[in-house]
Amino acid sequence: MRLLFVGDVVGRSGRKVLLEYLPRLRRQYALDFVVVNGENAAGGFGITEAILGEFLEAGADCVTLGNHAFDQKDALVFIGRQPQLVRPLNLPKGTPGRGAGLYKACNGAEVLVINALGRVFMSEMDCPFRAIDAEITACKLKVGADAIFVDFHAEATSEKQALGHFLDSRVTAVVGTHTHAPTSDNRVLRGGTAFMSDVGMTGDYDSVLGMAAGEPVHRFLTRIPNERFTPADGPATLCGTAIDIDDATGLARSILPVRLGGVLAPTEPLTWIEREI
């Protein structure tokens, strides 16, 4: 099975590059399943139901969120009728929506998608380690699901790496989001779990984390807000990761970076042998 994950889509430029490239990637690489993190898609803060629909129509099978999950207040309502939208698992009890979902891939496989928030340098949440452990105990790899994908939305690289080792051999992949800068540590851990500290954002990299640079620079210099953060609107880069999964075990055979458009050096999983589509 082939799975593509696309990192935090930021603003209009991020949405544009996703919609431009995702249909082609889906066809060219015969992708069986696509996950997109959309928590910054609406003006850099949250997601709307209309944007979610655009992502699903372009080829996403589900969309994950993060600490900005409910910045668009309507999300508190529409998340209940959108089963393909996954918010962090370890939010307080009673939060609308779902922190994990079981979805059917193109090849018929059942894919469990889990989204969780880190706690280091972020708002205090329930323990993501224990929350994910409970979820995968109830739905074990190759028992309840053919593949298990974890989007860990966290600040600290140490926390992301620790979760990767904690879940190694029990999930297909642990991929980090939130810091908006792609790391080069994509690898398969000893137990067969694909790992990458941060897949990077899908947005304009001539920016500060996807935001027009002027206001962030002003705040670093003065410690005084001057205006709202606004997403940079230049040519964006799609950042993602492509994971090749062993159908027999549900574990990863490889994890490769994907970068297209914008100012970052492009890379695609060209070593994959293309199948008949």
DSSP3 helix / strand / coil % (the chain, rounded to 5): 25, 25, 50
- Whether the per-residue pLDDT at 274 is higher than 70: the answer is no
Q: Which of 203, 150, 148 is nearest to 179 (CA)?
A: 203
Mean pLDDT confidence for 246-272: 94
Domain ranges of the chain: 2-203+235-260
Express each pLDDT in 71-91 by its tens digit: 999 999 999 999 999 999 999
**The CATH fold of domain 2-203+235-260:** Purple Acid Phosphatase; chain A, domain 2 (3.60.21)
pLDDT tens digits, 187-198: 999 999 999 999
Q: What percent of the chain has a predicted confidence (pLDDT) above 70?
A: 98
Structure tokens at 266: 């492009």
| DSSP run (H or E) holding 132 | helix 128-138
From residue 82, alpha-carbon distances to 78, 98, 193, 263 in Å are 6, 10, 29, 34
Mean pLDDT of 218-229: 94
pLDDT above 90 (res 276): no
pLDDT over 80 at 123, yes or no: yes
Please give the sequence-ordered ranges of beta strands (E in DSSP) within 122-277, or none if there are none.
Answer: 147-153, 173-177, 187-188, 194-196, 238-245, 252-260
Q: What is the mean pLDDT of residues 256-274?
A: 88
Output phi, psi for 207, to 5 deg: -165, -175
Catalytic member of 68, 153, 178, 180: 68
The predicted pLDDT at position 277 comes to 42
pLDDT greater than 80 at residue 264: yes
- Tell which residue, 47, 126, 30, 132, has the closest CA to residue 82: 47
Q: For the chain, what is the mean pLDDT?
A: 95
pLDDT in tens, 141-165: 999 999 999 999 999 999 999 999 9
Q: Could you give the CA distance from residue 62 to residue 195 in angstroms, rounded to a whole number?
A: 20
Render pLDDT for 85-110 as a digit per residue (tens, 0 to 9).
999 999 999 999 999 999 999 999 99
Distance CA 66, CA 138 (A): 23
* 68 noted as active-site residue: yes
